């Protein structure tokens, strides 16, 4: 939006970041009677490099906020419904037929679609191509200056939904990257991949890379999202070139090499970072809350984070409404949000972290898991609980 120089815009809530978490937060506030703004530095539609897999709870959460969401999302041209997964390890394949579906959708399309839902079902004011600069908090609330404009935003509450390099988290929570709890990953698109079905995701494990998996997710017709990640601590400590490791994966896995022998890479191999929920740290304070990657809520075992970004977006919106009802934006009052995150998300992240540590120290445990998965009752339990 074009703004007059020096203009002051006053809101109740300012959400920084218009991705899935930020959009969900705006939808959670749509009936709160508050004046809400979303600020994002990008111009939409814009791409976001990630695995692009959404678990069932993402859609379920958004449907709680907007009852029409599920039917509109499934009808959206970018959506594929995943019902099966093939897991490859040591030339063995286990097929899982999930009782609950998951979804893939290119982020270029998904984030734009979610923002269109915000526009359709709420009065949120949306400012794209708008880059936050300095953020200050005092007794009156929050002030946000911009890097590319003299406009000033003021609010009682600011919510950081601005991802792994969150401006809000850096300035208000003093968050810095910890390589022991940060995933470095790469992703590329391919077409003409052998034996791809639009309702089947695939993952390939290999012991050379600490049992980190390479994923193959169909996302759009003949296109698949292929990616791989490692802990940043391992990347730097072992001097691993992540892009070289990605292509090496195809050489050390005969079934993967066969699957991609006639495939064509579409576009570059791109990198991204994921703050893992093995070390969450500060998630709120005076007049602010963090959600999604800004709060380090990605799963340490799988690396997935969109579901938790969306769930935390809803929880942040719900707590924001409580703040205004109580006229209380203090650090102490924000502890209720922290406690809810702990119960709804962080406890599961800690369990995943323990499992990740066990697998990294005792890689033979994956052999045990594969062996157990051959038993129908155990396999059925996994299919019904994951």
Antiparallel, parallel or unpaired: β 92-104 and 53-54: antiparallel
Give the span between the Cα atoms of 278 and 350, in whole angstroms: 6
The confidence band for 4, taking pLDDT boundaries of 50, 70 and 90, is very low
- Sequence-distant (≥ 6) Cβ neighbours of residue 3 within 8 angstroms: 9, 149, 151
Mean local confidence (pLDDT), 110-135: 97
Q: Is the predicted pLDDT of residue 120 greater than 70, yes or no?
A: yes
Q: Is the predicted pLDDT of residue 117 greater than 60, yes or no?
A: yes
Lowest-confidence range among 56-65, 113-122, 355-364? Answer: 355-364
Higher pLDDT: 7 or 381? It is 7
Give the span between the Cα atoms of 220 and 213, in whole angstroms: 22
Give the span between the Cα atoms of 24 and 36, in whole angstroms: 12
Tens of pLDDT, residue by residue over 300-324, are: 988 899 999 999 999 999 999 999 9
Domain 179-276+359-385, CATH class in plain words: alpha beta
Mean local confidence (pLDDT), 191-202: 94
For residue 73, give the 3-state DSSP assignment.
Answer: helix
Q: Is the predicted pLDDT of residue 141 greater than 70, yes or no?
A: yes
Mean local confidence (pLDDT), 263-271: 96
Written as six digits, the tokens of 28 are 């959670």
Integer-rounded Cα radius of gyration of the chain:
21
| 203, burial (CB in 10 Å: exposed 0-12, middle 13-18, buried 19+) | middle
Written as six digits, the tokens of 253 are 């896995």
Q: Where is 135: in which H helix or E strand?
A: strand 132-138
Q: Is the predicted pLDDT of residue 188 greater than 50, yes or no?
A: yes
Query: According to the model, what pLDDT value does residue 91 have?
Result: 81
Higher pLDDT: 41 or 354? It is 41
Q: Where is 365: in which H helix or E strand?
A: helix 364-372
Ordered by start, the domain boundaries in the chain are 8-82+104-176+277-358, 179-276+359-385
Query: According to the model, what pLDDT value does residue 1 have?
Result: 38
Tokens 């730097």 belong to which residue?
A: 236
Query: According to the model, what pLDDT value does residue 104 have?
Result: 94
Lowest-confidence range among 42-51, 95-104, 260-269? Answer: 95-104
Helices (H), 135-231: 167-172
The confidence band for 381, taking pLDDT boundaries of 50, 70 and 90, is low
Strands of 179-319 (E only): list them. 182-191, 200-205, 213-220, 223-231, 264-275, 284-285, 288-290
Question: What is the Cβ-side half-sphere exposure of residue 169, based on CA atoms within 13 angstroms?
Answer: 24
Q: Is the predicted pLDDT of residue 3 greater than 50, yes or no?
A: no
- Sequence-distant (≥ 6) Cβ neighbours of residue 311 within 8 angstroms: 57, 58, 61, 344, 345
Which long-range contacts (C-beta less than 8 Å, at least 24 apart) are formed by 137-143?
Answer: 137/172, 137/285, 137/286, 137/287, 137/288, 141/287, 141/329, 142/14, 142/287, 142/288
| 313, burial (CB in 10 Å: exposed 0-12, middle 13-18, buried 19+) | buried
The confidence band for 382, taking pLDDT boundaries of 50, 70 and 90, is low
Give the span between the Cα atoms of 375 and 370, in whole angstroms: 10
Q: Is the predicted pLDDT of residue 386 greater than 80, yes or no?
A: no
Query: According to the model, what pLDDT value does residue 190 have?
Result: 97
Query: According to the model, what pLDDT value does residue 142 have?
Result: 98
The confidence band for 356, taking pLDDT boundaries of 50, 70 and 90, is confident
The confidence band for 270, taking pLDDT boundaries of 50, 70 and 90, is very high
Neighbours of 194 (CB within 10 A): 10
Query: According to the model, what pLDDT value does residue 292 have?
Result: 97
Give the span between the Cα atoms of 290 and 48, in whole angstroms: 19
Higher pLDDT: 2 or 307? It is 307
Lowest-confidence range among 22-31, 212-221, 376-385? Answer: 376-385
Give me the count of residues in the chain.
386
Closest CA to 37 of 13, 8, 58, 61: 13
Higher pLDDT: 90 or 251? It is 251
Question: What is the Cβ-side half-sphere exposure of residue 83, based on CA atoms within 13 angstroms?
Answer: 5
pTM of the model: 0.93
Lowest-confidence range among 70-74, 141-145, 266-270, 356-360? Answer: 356-360
Tell me the CATH number for domain 8-82+104-176+277-358.
3.50.50.60
The confidence band for 380, taking pLDDT boundaries of 50, 70 and 90, is low
Mean local confidence (pLDDT), 34-60: 95
């Amino acid at each position: 939006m074009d703004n007059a120089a020096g203009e002051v815009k006053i809101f109740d809530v300012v959400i920084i970041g218009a991705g899935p978490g930020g959009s969900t937060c705006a939808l959670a506030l749509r009936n709160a009677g508050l004046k809400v703004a979303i600020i994002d530095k990008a111009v939409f539609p814009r791409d976001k490099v990630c695995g692009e897999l959404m678990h069932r709870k993402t859609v379920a959460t958004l449907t709680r906020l907007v009852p029409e969401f599920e039917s509109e999302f499934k009808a959206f041209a970018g959506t594929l419904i995943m019902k099966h997964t093939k897991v490859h390890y040591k030339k063995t394949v286990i097929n899982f037929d999930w009782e609950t579906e998951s979804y893939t959708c290119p982020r270029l399309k998904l984030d734009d679609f979610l923002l269109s839902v915000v526009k359709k079902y709420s009065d949120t004011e949306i400012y794209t191509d708008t880059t936050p600069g300095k953020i200050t908090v005092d007794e009156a609330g929050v002030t946000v200056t911009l890097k590319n404009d003299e406009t000033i935003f003021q609010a009682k509450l600011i919510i950081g939904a601005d991802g792994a390099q969150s401006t809000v988290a850096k300035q208000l929570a003093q968050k810095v990257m910890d390589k022991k709890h940060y995933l470095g990953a790469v992703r590329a698109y391919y077409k003409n991949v052998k034996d791809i079905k639009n309702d089947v995701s695939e993952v390939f494990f290999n012991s050379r890379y600490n049992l980190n998996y390479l994923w193959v997710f169909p996302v759009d017709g003949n296109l698949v999202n292929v990616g791989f990640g490692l802990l940043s601590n391992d990347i730097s400590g072992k001097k691993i070139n992540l892009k070289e490791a990605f292509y090496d994966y195809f050489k050390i896995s005969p079934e993967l090499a066969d699957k991609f022998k006639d495939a064509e890479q579409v576009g570059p191999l791109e990198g991204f970072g994921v703050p893992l929920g093995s070390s969450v740290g500060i998630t709120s304070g005076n007049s602010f809350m963090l959600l999604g990657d800004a709060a380090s809520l990605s799963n340490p075992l799988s690396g997935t984070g969109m579901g938790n970004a969306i769930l935390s977006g809803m929880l942040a919106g719900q707590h924001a409404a409580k703040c205004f009802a109580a006229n209380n934006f203090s650090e102490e009052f924000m502890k209720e949000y922290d406690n809810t995150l702990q119960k709804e998300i962080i406890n599961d992240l800690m369990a995943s972290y323990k499992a990740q540590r066990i697998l990294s120290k005792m890689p033979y445990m994956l052999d045990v898991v594969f062996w157990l998965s051959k038993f129908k009752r155990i396999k059925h339990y996994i299919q019904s609980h994951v």
